[in-house]
Amino acid sequence: MHDTMNIGQAARASGVSAKMIRHYEQVGLLPAARRTEAGYRQYTEADMHTLRFIRHARDLGFPIAQIAELVGLWQDRQRPSRQVKALAQAHIDALDSKARELLAMKASLQHLVHCCHGDDRPDCPILDTLAAPQAVRAPADGPCGAPPAPDR
C-alpha cells in the first residue's frame, strides 16, 4: 500500500464509497484530507483505520452521532471502557425498541393481508386502512371486518 492514496483508492481499501468519505469529512467523523497541489485528497493508513472503524460501526447500525462518540472513545486510550459499554447498551436498547415497532407493523400488515380476499372484488381492507382519516393499527388477532384500533 502507498504512503498516501487518492479517494478512489481509499474507497476501495476501506469499503466506504467516495461519496461517504466526503460526507464523513464534512460531518467531522474523519479529519479533512490533505490535498495535493492539484487539490486531490490524500489519505493515510491512519485514515484507512478510521474509515474501517466507521464502516464497522455503520454495519452495526450506529447512527452518525454515536459513531462520532465511538471514534472519540477509540482514539482516547485513557477512556474507561464503561463509557463504550454504555453507548453500545444504549444502541441495543434502541434496536430492541425498533424491533418491537417493526414486529407490530408486521403483525398489523399480516392481519390486513389475511383479511383481504385478494380476488376480483374491489373492497380491500388494506386500502381502507391506509385511507383512514387517522393513523390506525389493525388488530393483530381480531376478526376481519372489525374496525382497526386507533394508533395511540
Domain ranges of the chain: 1-62, 80-152
- Contact (Cβ atoms closer than 8 angstroms) between residue 41 and residue 68: no
pLDDT in tens, the chain (152 residues): 458 999 999 999 999 999 999 999 999 999 999 999 999 999 999 999 999 999 999 999 999 999 999 999 999 999 999 999 999 999 999 999 999 999 999 999 999 999 999 999 899 999 999 998 887 666 666 777 554 455 54
CA–CA separation, 23 vs 90, rounded Å? 25
- Contact (Cβ atoms closer than 8 angstroms) between residue 131 and residue 138: no
CA–CA separation, 144 vs 19, rounded Å? 48
At position 80, the amino acid (one-letter code) is P
CATH class (in words) of the domain with range 1-62: mainly alpha
Contacts of 136 (CB under 8 A, 6+ apart): 129, 148, 149, 150, 151
CA–CA separation, 122 vs 38, rounded Å? 64
